[in-house]
Amino acid sequence: MLKVENIRKDFPILSRHVNGKPLVYFDNAATSQTPQQVIDAIVDYYSNYNANIHRGVHTLSQEATDKYEAARQTIQNHFNAKHAHEIIFTSGTTHSINLVANGFSALLKKGDEVIVSTLEHHSNIVPWQMLCERTGAILKVIPMNVEGELVMSDYDALLSNKTKLVFVNHISNALGTINPIKEIIDKAHNVGAAVLVDGAQACPHVKTDVQALDVDFYVASAHKMCGPTGVGVLYGKEVWLNKLPPYQGGGEMIAEVTFKKTTYAELPHKFEAGTPNICGGIAFGAAINYMDNIGFDAIASYENELLDYGTQKLLEIEGLKIYGTSKHKTSVISFNLEGIHPYDVGTILDKMGIAVRTGHHCAQPIMDFYKIPGTIRASFAFYNTKTEIDALVEGVKKAKMMLS
């Protein structure tokens, strides 16, 4: 059982006020908040062993390298990767996706097909469109239904021996739908295609086992799971990471450099050119330790309780419609009030100290599907409470009264 009163004490920001009201933070799907344990790791790094890694012979460099590599192992264990060198540090999910998309430029040819889903964040659409422009590959799209689920029979029909790559998110950022990724991966593998799963929205809710999924690439961001911004991870199967060419050139990623020819470093350094976000990587490790200590089963069961409670309470408001009604979803409620623009509701809620996201959530194809300009999205984390949901419901009622 998760004790939310104790957990909340770990997050200093949760006790602040916004516009004179206690902060109710429901924008967790954009950025989660940071516990003291992670803040301490950041302070410890800059206070005690800030140094460049991998090259120095001095003590600080050695200590920083040890902690950074320990963080890599923490991430490896968390995602159950087979090898530590299959874990590549990046600046975040977007960087991870671009790294893979860029690598596939060398592997795809005209007429090859790649498949994306309608439920994607723009960051899992645009890099692949750019890849298709570069290579002449064709982009195919898995459609969605009105519940916000992928139409799997259509996916089956899109797959063929021309399919080289499938990229899909684990959980939709705009609607919270949990996609059947195991089925998507297995079916792609049956036709010989590789699969990249965008785990940015899943990583704070689900403990993913990349070996059990047999996924080829899995990407995530630290700031979605209690870590700092500007750091993320690319998991890739060793065989795939060896096939892909390096993304950026620079220091750290080379074995030997002459003006005739440069040979590249082994994994993971081949993909980690330049001085990385060392502190961020170490703090990412601290964040994963923090969440693993609480336990993802406890987190999921508590968040489901919040989701059920929030859904029920919000639906009591007349004229409120929820988008994304799949039975398989995480603690995200995307909604609109009839005849009222989401921007207006978000503005009134902010005046009441309630932080939600409004707009198209970088997922315009979903908004086009529902023919709406955007939604109001409340996303709950394991440190939120039912009392805060009550405050949201009161806030929405007030916004409705003022705006109708």
226 is a catalytic site residue: no
List residues bridging with 27 in a β-sheet: 379
Shortest approach of other proteins to residue 38 CB, angstroms?
A: 25
DSSP state of 265: P
Shortest approach of other proteins to residue 342 CB, angstroms?
A: 8
Contacts of 371 (CB under 8 A, 6+ apart): none
Q: Encode 293-325: b = buried (16+ Cβ within 10 Å), e = exposed.
A: ebebeebbebbeebbebbbebbeeeeebbbbbb
- Secondary structure of 340-357 in the HEC alphabet? CCHHHHHHHHHHCCEECE
- Cβ closest to other proteins, residue 234 vs residue 354: 354
Contacts of 224 (CB under 8 A, 6+ apart): 29, 31, 32, 200, 201, 203, 204
- Cβ closest to other proteins, residue 209 vs residue 344: 344
Helix (H, G, I), strand (E, B) or coil at 51: coil
- Cβ closest to other proteins, residue 248 vs residue 347: 347
Give the orientation angle of helix 342-351 with respect to helix 386-403, to 10 degrees: 120
Q: Does residue 276 have a cis peptide bond before it, meaning omega lies within 30 degrees of 0?
A: no
Q: Kindly name the residue from 203, 226, 279, 362 that is annotated as catalytic.
A: 362
Helix (H, G, I), strand (E, B) or coil at 286: helix
- Cβ closest to other proteins, residue 147 vs residue 344: 344
Shortest approach of other proteins to residue 220 CB, angstroms?
A: 24
Residues near other proteins, by CB under 8 A: 19, 340-344, 346-348, 351, 358-360, 373-374, 402-403
Shortest approach of other proteins to residue 339 CB, angstroms?
A: 10
Q: How far apart are the first and last CA of the chain?
A: 42
Shortest approach of other proteins to residue 372 CB, angstroms?
A: 11
- Cβ closest to other proteins, residue 331 vs residue 358: 358
Return the beta strands (E) in 143-293 as ranges: 163-169, 194-198, 217-221, 232-236, 254-257, 262-264
Q: Do 120 and 169 form a contact (C-beta atoms < 8 A)? A: yes
- Cβ closest to other proteins, residue 20 vs residue 110: 20
Active-site positions? Answer: 362
